[in-house]
Chain A
Amino acid sequence: MEVLVASATGVLVAVGVYLLLRGQTFPVIVGLTFLSYAANVFLFAIGRLAINRPPIISPDAAGYTDPLPQALVLTAIVISFGMTALIMVLALRGFLETGSDRVDLDTLDDAQAPREKPDPVRVGSPA
């Protein structure tokens, strides 16, 4: 079981890192999701792997598993879920406003692009 969990975490991280290094927003988001899955599985395993053991006190339990990693992983899931939703919206807004889903900033010529308070009347080349 240990080998399986460890290699699964490793594969998730590898996939996540690969996708993260892509140039479009959507693969980056999927890559981030894979990375956070890997982190969740990893956090779940840090309390050691055990089967059929309760995390809370019960009279007929033979032994216990560590409850803290489960609490940690719950927090981590909530946070990464919220973050994924946010970056999703951000990517979509960015795509709708610029018409491109490239991650890099080079698509905008920053010498000419409006830096502040985009105002079509005032923005132009400094003639």
Chain B
Amino acid sequence: MSNWIVVPAILPAMTAALLILALRHDLARQRIVSVAATAALLAITIGLFVLANDGQPRAYRLGNWPAPFGIVLVLDGLSATMLVLTSALAFLVLLYAVKGWDAQGRHFHALFQFQLLGINGAFLTGDLFNLFVFFEVMLIASYGLMLHGGGAPRLKAGFQYVAINLVASTLFLFAVGLIYAVTGTLNMADLAGKVAQVAAADQALLKSGALMLLIVFAIKAALVPLHWWLPATYASTSAPSAALFMIMTKVGAYSILRVYALIFGTEAGALAQLANPWILPAAIVSLVFGSVGMLASRTLRDLVCFWVVASMGTLLIALGTFDLAGVTAALYYLIHSTLTGAALFLLADLVAERRAQWLDRLIPAREIQRATLIGGLFFLAAIAAVGMPPLSGFIGKLMVLEALRGAPGWPLIWFAILGTSLLMIVGFARAGSTLFWKSRDANNVMEEPDRRSLLPIMVVGLLLAGTAGLSVAAGSAVRSLEGIARQALDPDPYVRAVLGADARIRAAGR
């Protein structure tokens, strides 16, 4: 059964190869294969989630090489949750994209599958260097997706995006090199044991490596002051790509949790809890900065981009505590913000394609078709995004506040979270009222775009139904996430799953 762990990495790779080699010129078949493969991926990741639900991490050794020498993939509750979230988001985004976006450039579906390969691999890998490799796979595909459709602004923003990520990759290599030079291993489970035993003279080197790694993950997670690439990139890319990229900032948050809970967690001796003093202040500044940016936005997409920065701030405020309540809240908020952010990016596109030359700029224009439906969905998405009841953003923010009660400086943190919520309400209210209510000419309605399908609107509805479901089933979701958070914060079962069973294999082989 544990052989299935490798499938979320293999399936998109094979699908992408098939798409690019055999179905290069046939968009209709590409769509069928891509949607079918992503649906299969969703089913498999749900199966893996059920498998991981027993609280036991499982390791898959590629080529059956014993860890820590071979490559391992590790499935635990955290990675299984992220896999399900990725494939569910990917499936919905793909349904949105097949209504026309994928025809605007070549190889959309192949790039999409490669992107899934990189993301799934990053969630599964149990090895720092393979994390680098999967990051690169994810990024190369994301460059292609980001530029999908072309156009000068996209190329300009794309250059910045590629450049900042190349710098991040180089930093990643330096960090990995420092960690390997001191400990002699890059297997995360092996590192978890060895970090505590590093000689005092080498600790400074290891600490530099670990903090450089934090910079890399902070760039991915768009933590202020390393967030500048995000609004430019997400605002200029196509809507399905931006919606899928919602999971990429979460890869950064996941990596922070994985590395700084497993390797530099409470049992890391002199380097224990290395990241804690850095994450919280940066996360608070991200939250404030993102919310202020929302007020300054001139288009709906910019507004959503800055909301993403702010939501990553909220997420990392909770994550930065590295305790059970904090990580549980962070995981809940992570799922919520991924779904809501994707819905908002797709809504921005639905609005833009109905407003002709006004696009999604926050200026009054003629009334759009289906204004009630789209405006209603925007209203729901905005409620979820700012954290008003009854949708999951409210419960998520409540959990974050609750997790931080009693932490040092908690009144300031509470003030930041609650104060920025007000700024977010103002930002979304301004955008919504301009786009849907301030019509220039009430009798002259915009024409409905050519694609008369309801599918894109249904996709947005499904994403929002996800956040609604998350708040209806909040009790069981939180209980489940609490178990996952407990598992993520406890390195021992993970280390045993990777190294312990393997020691038995070696003994038996002799």
Contact = CB atoms under 8 A, between A and B. Distances in A.
B361 interface: yes
Given A35-B170, A87-B163, A75 B357 contact: no
A79 B136 contact: yes
Interface string B237-260: 010000000000000000000000
Given A32-B166, A68-B180, A90-B155, A105 B160 contact: yes
A87 B159 contact: yes
B232 A105 contact: yes
Contacts of B474: none
Contacts of A20: 163, 167
Interface residues of A, number: 46
A107 B160 CA distance: 14
Given A25-B159, A90-B162, A116-B359, A72 B298 contact: no
B46 interface: no
Looking at chain B's contact residues, the main secondary structure is: helix
B177 A39 contact: yes
B152 A97 contact: yes
A98 B155 contact: yes
Interface stretch (B143-151, B263-271, B491-499): B143-151
Contacts of A15: none
Contacts of B160: 103, 105
A53 interface: no
B153 interface: yes
B348 to A, nearest CB: 10
B157 A105 contact: yes
B158 interface: yes
B155 A97 contact: yes
A109 B143 CA distance: 23
A59 interface: no
Given A39-B173, A126-B365, A117 B104 contact: yes
A115 B156 contact: no
A122 B359 CA distance: 10
- Most B-side CB within 10 Å, residue of A103, A111, A116: A116
A8 interface: no
B181 A46 contact: yes
Contacts of A54: none
Interface residues of B, number: 47
A94 B156 contact: yes
Contacts of B177: 39, 42-43, 46, 69, 72
Contacts of A111: 298, 361
A15 to B, nearest CB: 13
Contacts of B301: 115
A55 interface: no
Interface string B168-204: 0110011011101100000000000000000000000
- Most A-side CB within 10 Å, residue of B167, B177, B238, B359: B177
A93 B157 contact: no
Given A105-B157, A116-B352, A69 B180 contact: yes
A19 to B, nearest CB: 11
Contacts of A38: 170
Interface in A84-114: 86-87, 90-91, 93-94, 97-98, 103, 105, 107-108, 110-111, 113-114
B367 interface: no
A123 to B, nearest CB: 6
Given A39-B177, A42-B177, A86-B162, A123 B361 contact: no
B129 interface: yes
Contacts of B155: 90, 93-94, 97-98
Contacts of B170: 32, 35-36, 38-39, 80
A69 B184 CA distance: 10
Given A42-B173, A69-B180, A90-B147, A103 B159 contact: yes
Interface in B119-153: 129, 133, 136, 140, 143, 147, 149, 151-153
B356 A122 contact: yes
A25 to B, nearest CB: 6
A57 to B, nearest CB: 14
Contacts of B158: 90, 94
B157 A39 contact: no
A94 B154 CA distance: 9
Interface in A29-48: 32, 35-36, 38-40, 42-43, 46-47
B482 interface: no
A39 B169 CA distance: 10
- Most B-side CB within 10 Å, residue of A35, A111, A124: A35
A76 interface: yes
A90 B482 CA distance: 44
9 contacts: A32-B163, A43-B176, A46-B177, A83-B136, A91-B159, A98-B156, A114-B151, A115-B299, A116-B151
Given A46-B177, A94-B159, A123-B357, 5 more contacts: A32-B167, A35-B170, A46-B181, A110-B153, A111-B361
The 6 closest A-B pairs by CB, nearest first: A46-B181, A39-B173, A94-B155, A46-B177, A97-B152, A35-B170
